[in-house]
């Protein structure tokens, strides 16, 4: 033990006399810290954690690979190690002392970096110091050990320099330390999983951003510890006292051992992509934390109020401050300015009725249709279009919840997904026809994932409870008989009432699909929170509208799907020519759909088109009557049906509402504040209000004067992140 301590003391004394050691351990990291901090860190304390992580990782890499890898070669070439050999002393104390010395020299630098980041850039101090300390320590040990292996393998200082650079440069630029992993091509993201520095970088960021405990960093710590131990053992085995000594070829094979933990871990991560997802989540959190000042905009609050000219401060993903009139300079707020003169900012739009599992158009190839991948792309299309939240009103439940999990984690970026789960219907009811003639495997899947057909009230309540446990956001039930040529069995109202009772007990809104005025009345009487489609077949009674208003039931007319159905019947797919539809439709869909419409119209198409025109007229009139009666309105499109292609759905719905006679301000409130409240998210989105999530839509022009302005998108902010719209479709 005395030899170890003596060597550590000698190494420390020698190191403190060398200007290079002092410069690269203490001055050089501060140059990076303040250099990047002035450009990025001053705008976001969370972004500063990325800079601190980068500086820490660069420092550990430099201390290990350059400090140990080159210095030991220099000592061998100058004869220093030869003198130790005649002492006599074994290689172990020399190598262990080198590792400990490097660690002791680096720790003060790490502390200085973190303290200065807190004092100068207001970065919060890490809440969990022990995991951070262990990560830094194990990182120092692992990379010093790797550096010592390089020293043993290299035959000269020049050769060691080359070997150090061969390891240093990939780990510097491909570990996420300097370039975020999420910005790299897929092959580079996978390659990064085999690099030790990637786990050090992600571990440090996770601890500093999320106050992650020991358990959450065990994988990274275990791999670093294994490399430190293996590296030390290998460096002892192949240690050379003098430059004339040569290493046996068999001994060099031991070098692979130090990277074995990362080869195994990299292979596992390349398969699961868990570490890639975690890296993307950390990157997304940093982007959402940036501070921005949107100034000089016309502001539509979402609840009917308007600010003629104002500004909004976004910080850490939330709306921190709203000014009615001039705002302070962006520099004084440490914010990036977003000039918005002549533009309007409003809450992100919401579609409360979509079916993500259906594409909305014809596909070039249906074989192997991937519902999950299609749903993820649809959510990207919605966000691209400024529709920042959607409610799935009937889809394959398990796959849908998996998609929502990816969205919530930040691994995939798209509109926020709310899920109603499967349709509650009855045998022979609407929803069952989709699988009537399907193969057995698809029929079984549909019955398990897409529909629920309870036989009695007790079973209905059990099903609602099970869905609540599964994680749905609302309950969807069907109450209608259909039309001539497509008739359905109607659910017993007592079953609907049981579903509603259990939904209220579970804290879930119940949304009811209706077809006519009588359905609407029964739905409200059974405790519906929202009525989907309303009535397109007759006028809803005034007394029913009064009941809707008194009970606060939301009314969603879905005019979009009626317009689309008429175009399907007349074989004139004009909706495919809308600019934003062309921008977001999956490749080949528009061409395939147009081609499908070249076939002759079905028998009785004129009569069907006339009937659909009548339904649209009833639906529009009921919408206006509901508004005049004081009923709360919400916007849904029934996207996924033919010609209602996922993405710009609410924009068209708003245009149809205004054409029917609904004021622009009322329509926008329905698509923002009212919709958010129906989905149970009214306390955080749907309004431009201090403390709410900064999920906003910046458009050219004024939608209160021209409703089509909502489609002229300038910028989209999602939880504070300024969305790269085109990049949404490039996510892997």
- The dihedrals phi and psi of 245, each to the nearest 5 degrees, come to -70, 150
Per-residue pLDDT for 41 more than 60?
A: no
CATH assignment of the domain containing 438: 3.20.20.140
702 assigned to some structural domain = no
pLDDT at 657: 98
pLDDT tens for residues 22-39? 777 788 888 888 888 877
pLDDT tens for residues 413-439? 999 999 998 999 998 888 888 766 655
* Residues 135 and 231 reside in one and the same domain: yes
412 assigned to some structural domain = yes
Number of domains in the chain: 3
- Per-residue buried b or exposed e for 274-294, using 16+ beta carbons within 10 Å of the residue's own CB: ebbbbbbbbbbbbbbbbbbbb
* Residues 341 and 382 reside in one and the same domain: no
Separation of alpha carbons 705 and 665, rounded Å: 9
DSSP state string for 217-265 = GHHHHHHHHHHHHHHHHHHHHT--SSTT----HHHHTTHHHHHHHHHHH
Q: Is the Cβ–Cβ distance between 402 and 370 less than 8 Å?
A: no
pLDDT at 507: 95
Q: Which of 264, 288, 312 is the last residue of a domain?
A: 288
* Residues 178 and 233 reside in one and the same domain: yes
Mean pLDDT, residues 599-603 taken together: 71
CATH assignment of the domain containing 303: 2.30.40.10
pLDDT tens for residues 660-701? 999 999 999 999 999 999 999 999 999 999 999 999 999 999
* Residues 625 and 726 reside in one and the same domain: yes
Q: Is the Cβ–Cβ distance between 431 and 451 less than 8 Å?
A: yes
Higher-pLDDT residue of 455 and 6 is 455
pLDDT at 726: 87
pLDDT tens for residues 468-502? 999 999 999 999 887 766 788 999 999 999 999 99
pLDDT at 206: 81
* Residues 135 and 192 reside in one and the same domain: yes
Per-residue pLDDT for 613 more than 70?
A: no
Per-residue pLDDT for 194 more than 60?
A: yes
Nearest C-alpha neighbor of 350 from the set 10, 713, 687: 687
Per-residue pLDDT for 408 more than 90?
A: no
* Residues 340 and 379 reside in one and the same domain: no
Per-residue pLDDT for 608 more than 70?
A: no
* Residues 329 and 360 reside in one and the same domain: no
pLDDT tens for residues 361-405? 988 776 667 888 899 999 999 999 999 999 999 888 888 899 998
* Contacting residues for 595 by C-beta, under 8 A, at least 6 apart: 362
pLDDT at 437: 61
Please report, in angstroms and rounded to a whole number, the separation of the first and last CA atoms in the chain: 53
- Per-residue buried b or exposed e for 638-653, using 16+ beta carbons within 10 Å of the residue's own CB: bbbbbbbbbbbbbbbb
Mean pLDDT, residues 329-358 taken together: 94
125 assigned to some structural domain = yes
Highest mean pLDDT among 2-16, 92-106, 176-190: 92-106
Mean pLDDT, residues 171-178 taken together: 84
Average pLDDT score, the chain? 88
- Per-residue buried b or exposed e for 578-605, using 16+ beta carbons within 10 Å of the residue's own CB: bebbeebbbeebbebbeeebeeeeeeee
Separation of alpha carbons 288 and 688, rounded Å: 17
Q: Which helix (H) or strand (E) holds 400?
A: helix 397-409
* Residues 270 and 356 reside in one and the same domain: no
Q: CA angle, corner 716, sides to 711 and 720, nearest 5?
A: 160
* Residues 428 and 503 reside in one and the same domain: yes
Q: Which of 288, 310, 338 is the last residue of a domain?
A: 288
Distances (CA, A) of 231 to 76, 104, 259: 19, 19, 9
670 assigned to some structural domain = yes
Per-residue pLDDT for 328 more than 90?
A: yes
700 assigned to some structural domain = no
698 assigned to some structural domain = no
Structural domain range at position 21: 2-288
* Residues 338 and 387 reside in one and the same domain: no
Q: Is the Cβ–Cβ distance between 537 and 486 less than 8 Å?
A: no
Separation of alpha carbons 481 and 493, rounded Å: 13
Q: CA angle, corner 728, sides to 723 and 730, nearest 5?
A: 140
Separation of alpha carbons 730 and 732, rounded Å: 6
Q: Which of 238, 260, 288 is the last residue of a domain?
A: 288
567 assigned to some structural domain = yes
pLDDT at 543: 97
pLDDT at 602: 66
What whole-number percentage of the chain has pLDDT above 90?
A: 49
Indicate the pTM of the whole model: 0.85
39 assigned to some structural domain = yes
pLDDT at 586: 93
* Residues 546 and 646 reside in one and the same domain: yes
* Residues 304 and 421 reside in one and the same domain: no
DSSP 526: T
pLDDT at 214: 65
């Amino acid at each position: 033990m005395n030899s170890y301590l003596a060597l550590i003391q000698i190494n420390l004394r020698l190191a403190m006399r060398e200007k290079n050691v002092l410069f690269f351990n203490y001055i050089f990291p501060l140059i990076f810290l303040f250099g990047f901090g002035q450009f990025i860190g001053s705008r976001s304390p969370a972004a500063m954690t990325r800079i601190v992580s980068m500086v820490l990782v660069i420092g550990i890499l430099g201390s290990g690979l350059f400090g140990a890898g080159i210095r030991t070669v220099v000592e061998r070439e100058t004869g220093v190690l030869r003198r130790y050999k005649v002492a006599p002393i074994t290689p172990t104390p020399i190598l262990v002392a080198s590792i400990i010395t490097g660690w002791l020299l680096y720790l003060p630098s790490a502390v200085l970096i973190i303290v200065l980041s807190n004092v100068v850039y207001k970065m919060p101090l890490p809440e969990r110091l022990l995991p951070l300390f262990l990560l830094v320590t194990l990182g120092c040990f692992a990379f010093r050990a790797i550096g010592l292996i390089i020293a043993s393998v290299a035959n000269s200082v020049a050769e060691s320099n080359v070997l150090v650079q061969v390891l240093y440069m990939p780990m510097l630029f491909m570990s996420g330390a300097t370039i975020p992993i999420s910005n790299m091509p897929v092959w580079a993201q996978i390659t990064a999983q085999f690099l030790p520095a990637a786990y050090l970088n992600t571990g440090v960021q996770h601890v500093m951003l999320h106050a992650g405990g020991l358990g959450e960093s065990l994988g990274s710590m275990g791999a670093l510890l294994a490399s430190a131990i293996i590296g030390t053992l290998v460096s002892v085995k192949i240690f050379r006292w003098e430059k004339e000594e040569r290493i046996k070829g068999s001994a060099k094979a031991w070098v692979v051992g130090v990277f074995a933990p990362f080869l195994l871990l990299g292979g596992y991560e390349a398969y699961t992509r868990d570490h890639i997802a975690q890296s993307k989540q950390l990157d997304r959190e940093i982007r959402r934390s940036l501070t921005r000042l949107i100034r000089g905009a016309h502001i539509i609050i979402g609840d009917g109020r308007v600010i003629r000219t104002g500004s909004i401060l976004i910080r850490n993903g939330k709306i921190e401050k709203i000014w009615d009139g001039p705002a302070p300079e962006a520099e004084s707020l440490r914010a990036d300015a977003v000039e918005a003169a002549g533009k309007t900012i409003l809450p992100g739009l919401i579609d409360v009725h979509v079916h993500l599992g259906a594409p909305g158009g014809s596909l070039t190839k249906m074989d192997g249709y991937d519902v999950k991948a299609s749903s993820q792309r649809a959510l990207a299309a919605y966000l691209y279009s400024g529709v920042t939240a959607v409610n799935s009103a009937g889809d394959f439940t398990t796959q849908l919840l998996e998609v929502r999990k990816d969205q919530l984690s930040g691994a995939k970026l798209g509109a926020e997904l709310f899920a109603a789960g499967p349709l509650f219907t009855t045998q022979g009811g609407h929803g069952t026809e989709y699988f009537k003639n399907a193969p057995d495997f698809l029929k079984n899947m549909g019955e398990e994932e897409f529909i629920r057909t309870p036989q009695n009230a007790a079973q209905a309540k059990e099903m609602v409870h099970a869905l609540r446990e599964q994680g749905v956001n609302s309950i969807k039930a069907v109450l209608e008989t259909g039309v001539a040529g497509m008739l359905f069995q109607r659910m017993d109202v007592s079953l609907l009432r049981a579903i509603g009772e259990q939904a209220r007990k579970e804290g879930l809104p119940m949304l009811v699909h209706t077809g006519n005025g009588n359905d609407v009345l029964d739905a409200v009487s059974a405790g519906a929170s929202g009525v989907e489609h309303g009535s397109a077949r007759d006028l809803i009674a005034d007394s029913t509208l009064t009941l809707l208003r008194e009970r606060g039931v939301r009314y969603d007319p879905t005019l979009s799907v009626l317009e689309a159905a008429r175009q399907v019947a007349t074989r004139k797919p004009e909706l495919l020519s809308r600019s934003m539809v062309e921008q977001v439709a999956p490749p080949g869909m528009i061409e395939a759909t147009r081609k499908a419409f070249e076939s002759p119209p079905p028998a009785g198409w004129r009569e069907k088109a006339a009937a659909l025109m009548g339904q649209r007229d009833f639906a529009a009139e009921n919408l206006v009557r509901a508004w005049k009666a004081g009923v709360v309105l919400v916007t849904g499109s029934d996207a996924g049906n033919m010609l209602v292609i996922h993405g710009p759905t609410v924009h068209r719905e708003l245009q149809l509402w205004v054409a029917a006679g609904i004021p622009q301000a009322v329509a926008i409130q329905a698509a923002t504040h009212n919709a958010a409240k129906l989905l149970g998210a009214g306390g955080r989105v749907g309004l431009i209000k201090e403390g709410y999530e900064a999920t906003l839509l910046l458009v050219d022009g004024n939608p209160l004067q021209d409703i089509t302005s909502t489609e002229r998108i300038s910028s989209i902010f999602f939880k504070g992140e300024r969305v790269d719209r085109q990049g949404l479709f490039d996510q892997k």
